[in-house]
Structure 1
Amino acid sequence: LSAKLAAKKMGLPLLAANWGVLLGDRHPDRALKEFIALVTSLAPCVLYWDDFDKGFAGWDSNADGGVARRLSAALLTWMQEHQEPVYTIATVNRLSMLPAELVRRFDDIFFVDLPHEGARYEVFNLHLAKYFPGFRDNNSPWSDDQWRRLLAEYRICSPAEIGNAVRRCAEEAFYQGRPGEIEFEDLLTQRQEFTPAMERESEQIQAIRNQAIYAKPVASLDVSRFAYQHRELFG
């Protein structure tokens, strides 16, 4: 979404690439060469790599005949030497899997964590407004106390999980003959129907969060009325 927005803001074409697909090509060297030629011909553009780290597992070994090592070197050389205006954005889960010299080619590294209370409120309203007219034009039929309870219940949920929960509520309302209507309790009930990734994969996600010290936080401070108030345990 960030890559799409960046391309739209700059009025440039967006190219989505997958490093693993290039590595798995029957002729990976030729595939990378042709891809770089395509990117260069379309410049200025935004180049987006999805799950960039997955394609670099074992890049420093010869388990695949040295293909990953060779292609990594070719990509690094291009990133260092190209003069065309190509703005590169990549998403990674494990930064440590990338070659250090490749990481240095990126000007900024951002950490996308779970949304804070204010951001979670905005995510909810963004999805609710798609399905329920009562939430459009910055309107909300629920009280602040109800919102605080809802935000607390979804505290460890990602924006995608929140969006899925709202969509399921909209589907249930349609099946029950009340399309476009939602009750506060519907979302509370829906929260009990799934296990967030933060619980399912807690160790892996915590390992990623432990690396956040090396990146800039993507979110600004929460200044909303729902901001979490830190309290001293002992006065």
Structure 2
Amino acid sequence: MSVSSEIAELWSAGTPVLYLVTPEEDRAVAACQAAAAAFDARCAVWSSHRGLDPAAPGAKEPAALLDALLRAPAPFLAVALDFHHALASPAVARQLRDALPRMAAEGRCLAVVAPRLALPDGLGTDAAVIRVPLPDDAELGALLEVVQAGLAHPAAPPPLPADVRHRALVAARGLSEAQARRAFTRALRRDAALGPEGIGAVAAEKKRLLARDLGLELVEAAERPEDLGGLGAFKAWMDERALAFDPDASRWGLPPPRGVLLVGVQGCGKSLAAKAAAARLGVPVLRLDLPRVLGAQTGAEEGLARALEAAEALAPVALWVDEIEKGFAGSAPGDGGEPRAARLLGAFSTWLQERKGPVFVVATANDVSRLPPELLRRGRFDELFFVDLPDPEARREILALHLRRRGREPGAVDVAAIAELCADYSGAELEQVVIGALHRAYALGRELETADLRRVAQDLVPLFRTYEEQIKALREWARGRARVAGRAGAVVDLFRRVQ
């Protein structure tokens, strides 16, 4: 259902107040005007600067607006811009509540347009909240034609091939109407045929706008599953889930995979695994900066809603949420029970449970003591994996990967001996062993040798020695709660007991 149809349906049902949550005033006003036109009713737009235009331009105060709304011939729709500020006044809220019965009976409606939801107590039961969605492909297509015609005026714009037009619309998904207009204008001025350079301009503009406005970052991930050392159980699980993204899977009855939560030791490849998972699914990676989105003192709820809406508009996509426990710090009663943090966690948890589009969420966490229990419920994620320090086989894989990445053949050195020497090293620390050994060999003016790797490995102090108790506690927490991302769970449990 379109926004204008929803407005018309609620208005005709006697809803006296509509609250349209959107930063795009022009789209909201256009939807309200279309709804009024469907009823052959009058519609006027109010702002504190212009008054109620065109019905009562002199009604610039909130109280005057409500008086003018009751005097106008019914049916009547008043669209009030930024009226949420006026509703913060108890006197204005009271005046509106007194007018509600008459408004509902006579077909008068007040449509509040605001970038965030701020309904005062007492109006919640009489107001219908409408979150104006981002433009769909049809709206983006119409906008592209308007921009193309405007730039080509007075000549007729050349028609775009269907495949080029489709790529342009896909590149613009997730943008507001104003943002898409700027992106299309920039792209068409650079390349009127919207070739690779023009499409690249749309994608670059989207990347910049998403990061600035929504705390979303399109990550250029070069990692592939084969670039991930160890984590065999996780990679096998991802191979199964990737099949569910095929079109035949939905016809067979399989829903799109929802996501995975990776908890474990720092530096053991959780972030790398998130990007490798997206590569296995064949979808782009969208990183959500939760601390930035939720850190705003005002409008955090709307910021989160807009970011998640943009992620769904970009689907299919992998949404990477790094260190998710930090984003919702303070949401648990033991953390002080901050109401705002709890509301944000509730909104995010609900979205995880009810999202419809193919958005595969990959969340990572280091500190399970700060992980809200709401995120661990089944249905939020398909699976919970524990990422431990790599076992001997995984250490050999990781060392070999980093040697090949730097142009060295693993067979030229004793990788197995170095892997045994690095029993408590994380994946990040194993990478530093390789890098440090290359520095040493370069300084000595010769090729890399096993002795260089051994020397660096012996000098490096792994995180395990500093945080041994915390890591053991993390392992104990994961026992029975999470699947092991590396070797089979029974083997890993035996390995822990031997330690």
Q: TM range, normalised to the smaller chain? A: 0.7 to 0.9
Distance 1:134 1:107 in 2: 38
* Alpha-carbon displacement from aligned partner over 1:100-152 (angstroms, at most 9, x marks no partner): 232111121111111111111111111112335343xxxx134xxx5443222
User: Is 1:2 the counterpart of 2:273 in the alignment?
Assistant: yes
Does the 8 A contact of 1:59 with 1:68 survive in 2? yes
Cα deviations across residues 29-60 of structure 1 (Å, max 9, x unaligned)?
Answer: 22212211211110111111101112233213
| Structure-to-structure mapping, 1:92-103, within 5 angstroms | 92-103=365-376
Determine which of 170, 189, 204 is the counterpart of 2:438.
170
Partner residue, 2:421: 153
Alignment of 1:72-221 (within 5 A): 72-104=345-377, 105-135=380-410, 140-142=411-413, 146-178=414-446, 181-213=447-479, 214-221=481-488
Say which SS state the counterpart of residue 133 (structure 1) adopts: coil
Gaps of 5+ in 1: 222-229
User: Hey, what's the Cα distance between the residues in 1 that align with 2:474 and 2:424?
Assistant: 15
Query: 1:32 corresponds to which residue?
Result: 304
Q: Is the 8 A contact 2:396 2:416 kept in 1?
A: no
After superposition, give the CA deviation of every residue in 1:136-175 in whole Å (9 maximum; x if it has no partner). Answer: xxxx134xxx544322210100111010110111122223
Unaligned runs of 5+ in 2: 1-271, 489-494
Displacement after TM superposition at 1:64 (Å) = 8.3
- Residue 48 of structure 1 aligns with which residue? 320
CA deviations on 1:177-228 (whole Å, 9 max, x unpaired) are 22xx21111111102322100011112211111112111111135xxxxxxx
RCO higher in 1 or 2 (8 Å CA, sep ≥ 6)? 1
Distance 1:160 1:110, change over 3 A: same
Give, as a single letter, the amino acid of the residue that structure 2 aligns with 1:109: L
Contact kept, 8 Å, 2:323 with 2:363, in 1: the verdict is yes
Match of 1:13 among 281, 284, 296: 284
Native 8 Å contact 1:93 1:208 kept in 2: no
Contact 2:398-2:430 within 8 A present in 1 as well: yes
Q: Hey, what's the Cα distance between the residues in 1 that align with 2:332 and 2:407? A: 52
User: Contact 1:23 / 1:67 at 8 angstroms: preserved in 2?
Assistant: no
Q: Which SS does the other structure have where 1:192 is aligned?
A: helix
Q: Secondary structure at the match of 1:102?
A: helix
| Pair 1:66–1:10, CA change in 2 (3 A) | same
Structure number with bigger Rg: 2
User: Aligned pair in 2 of structure 1 residues 134, 83: CA closer, same or farther (>3 Å)?
Assistant: closer
Q: Judge conservation of contact 1:131–1:170 (CA < 8 Å) in 2.
A: no
Q: Does the CA contact (< 8 Å) of 1:153 and 1:191 recur in 2?
A: yes
CA distance in 1, matches of 2:365, 2:352: 17
RMSD: 2.5
- After superposition, the C-alpha distances for 1:56-109 in whole angstroms (9 at most, x for unaligned) are 332135958522111111111212222111111111123343332321111211
Q: Secondary structure at the match of 2:344?
A: helix
Q: Sequence identity, in percent?
A: 35
Identify, as 1 or 2, the structure richer in strand: 2
Once residues 148 and 84 of structure 1 are traced to their aligned partners in structure 2, the CA distance between those partners, rounded to angstroms, is: 45
* Number of residue-to-residue matches in the alignment: 216
TM-score (norm 1): 0.82
In 1, Cα distance between equivalents of 2:416 and 2:476:
28
